Amino acid sequence: MYDFKKSVVYQIYPKSFYDTDGDGVGNLSGVTAKLDYLKNLGIDYIWLTPFFVSPQRDNGYDIADYYNIDPSFGTMEELNELIKEANKRDIRLMFDMVLNHTSTEHEWFKKSLAGDKYYQDFYIWKDGKADGTPPTNWESKFGGNAWEYVPSIGKWYLHLFDVTQADLNWENPNVRKELQKIIRFWIDKGVKAFRFDVINLISKSCYEDDFEGDGRKFYTDGVRVHEYLKELNKATFGTDAEIITVGEMSSTNLENCVKYAGADQDELTMVFSFHHLKVDFVGNQKWVLVPFDFKKLKNILFDWQTEMAKNNAWNALFWCNHDQPRVVSRFGNTSEYWEKSAKMLATVIHCMRGTPYIYQGEEIGMTNADFENINQYRDVESLNYFEILKNQGLSEQSAYQILKVHSRDNSRTPMQWNESENAGFTTGTPWISVNPNYKHISAENQINDENSIFNHYKKLINLRKQYDVIAYGNIIPLEVNHDSVFAYMRKYKNEQMIIINQFYKTETTWKYPIDLSGFKCILSNYNDCNIQNNNILRPYESMVLYKKD
C-alpha cells in the first residue's frame, strides 16, 4: 500500500504537457512518453486534469461524457497503456472528477432541455422573479450572472461557472447514484486516486439574494455536503483502502476542512484550500495589482498546518496548479534570483505536514508567460475579465498588466522540454504560445545539473521518503512576526528538523530561537550552508537542518 504521507503528486495538464502527433495539443500518449522523466524525479502519483469528452469551453472542466476519452487526447486503448506503463514504474494515476456540474452538451442536459422531467431534475432549474430577472443575484465565478434563462423551458438554470457548465442537483438521489457509477467505472479500470473539482459547492443551502456578496455563502460548504461525501465514500472509493482522494475546496474554512479530511471522518484523504493564494488579492478580488502580503501568507499557512494537525486532518501542499500563476513569478524573483527563489519556495512547501503537489514545469522553475496581446490568451475567465476590466474604465495597457500577473493561462503554456522549436512540446503549432524563455528554462538543461531546480525538487522528494519527521511529525511555527523569514520546526519521536526560508532579495538578520547543537544542514539552495553564522540570511536563502537524538 502506498503511504500518501510519504508520497508526492505531480499534476499534468495534458493539453500542454507533450504532443506526440503534431496537432499542437498534448495527449495521453505524451504522458506515457515522459513517464521515465517523472520516475527520475521520484513522484508517486500523476494527477491528470480532465481528458474526457468535452467541448473545451473551460479546458475540459466542462465534461460531456465521463466514460470516454476526448479524441483530442487519444483513445481508451492509449489510456489503458498509460495506466499499465505507469504501474510498471510504481506510479499511480489520479483522475480529476468534475461532479458539481456538467457541460450543457452532456446527454443529461440535452434531455433536460428537451423536456424530459426525469433529467430536468438532474439540474437546478428555478423560476425567475416576478419582474423577469434571475432567481437570485448570484454571480458566476467567471463573471456575469450565475443563471441562464431558457425560453423553451420558461425557467433559469444555475451555472456557478461558465454558462455552458450547468450545476447538478445533488439533492436528487438519482444524480448521486449516476455519479457513483462513474467513480466505480474508473476504479474498475485500475485508477487508485481521485481529485474532486470544487467538491464543496455541491450542496446549495438555499436560493436567496446575497446583499453582502456574490452568493457564495449560500452554496459553499452547504448544509448537506458532508452527508453527500460520506455517501460517495461508502459507495465508491471507501471500499478500497489503497485509494486516495483530494477535494478542491473553494472559499472554504478550517472548520469544514477538518471534517472533509479528518482521519476518522470517512470523507476524503486530504483537501486543497486556497486562502494562502489570495494574499495578492484585495478581499476576494484577484483582478487587481497589489504586492503579496508576506505576513498574511505565513499566518494562513501556519494556521492551516497547526489546526489540521490538531484535528488529525491532512493537507494537500501546493503553490501551483492549472488555475494559478507560476509561483516563482508570484512570490519569487524571476531575474537575478530565479534559481534561488524557486528552490526556496519548493523547500517551504515540501517540508510541511501534508502531501506535496508539483505542477508541471514547477520543478524546472517555469515562469509566467507575460502575454501582451489578447489573441494569445485562451482562458475563458481571462477573456471575460479583459472586457470587464475595460468596461470598468481601465486602459487596455492596465488590463494587460493585470492579466500578465493573474491569468490562468500563465500556468497553461506548453511544458518546456528542450531548446528545440516550441520547446520540444510539439512539431506542429501549439494550441497556446510557448513561453519565449524556453531556451533558458528547460528540462533538458536541468536533468543532469546537480545544482538545478529540478534536482532540488528531486532531493526534497527523497527527503520526505527518507525522514519520518517530514511525513509524520508535528509542526511548530518559528518567529511568526519576522518581516522576511518563514521558518518552522518539525518533531517526531527522536527526530527534529528546522526549515528556514528567506523570502526577499535583501539580506536579513534572524537569531535562531533554539539551540542548534547537534543539527546538521542536509539541504540548502546555496553551496555553503553555515549554520554557525546564524544572524545573517542571504537573498532567498533556504536551508533544512536535521538532528536525531
Residues tagged active-site: 197, 248
Helices 225-235, 173-188: axis angle to 10 degrees equals 40
Helices 396-406, 380-391: axis angle to 10 degrees equals 150
Q: How many helices (H) and strands (E) does the chain have?
A: 16, 22
> The C-alpha cell of 48 is what?
491528470
**If residue 386 lies in a helix (H) or strand (E), which one and from where to where?**
helix 380-391
Cα gap 193→496, rounded to integer Å:
31
CA 209 vs CA 198, 206, 217, 404, 444: distances in Å:
22, 10, 10, 34, 54
Give the total residue count for the chain.
549
- The answer to whether 303 and 279 are in contact (CB under 8 A) is no
Nearest to 158 by CA among 193, 134, 142, 175: 134
What are the φ/ψ torsions at residue 363 (nearest 5 degrees)?
Answer: -70, -5
Cα gap 33→389, rounded to integer Å:
41
Cβ neighbours of 286 (radius 10 Å): 17
Q: Where are the alpha helices (DSSP H) in 53-104?
A: 76-88
DSSP 8-state code for residue 157: E
Pair type for strands 193-196 and 244-248:
parallel
Name every residue whose Cβ is closer than 8 Å to that of residue 522 and which is 6 or more positions away in sequence: 463, 544, 545, 546
DSSP 8-state code for residue 132: S
Name every residue whose Cβ is closer than 8 Å to that of residue 452 and which is 6 or more positions away in sequence: 339, 364, 445, 446
Nearest to 296 by CA among 473, 503, 489: 503
DSSP 8-state code for residue 547: E
State the Cα angle at 70 between 68 and 76, rounded to 5°: 50
Cα gap 450→71, rounded to integer Å:
39
Cα gap 168→176, rounded to integer Å:
9
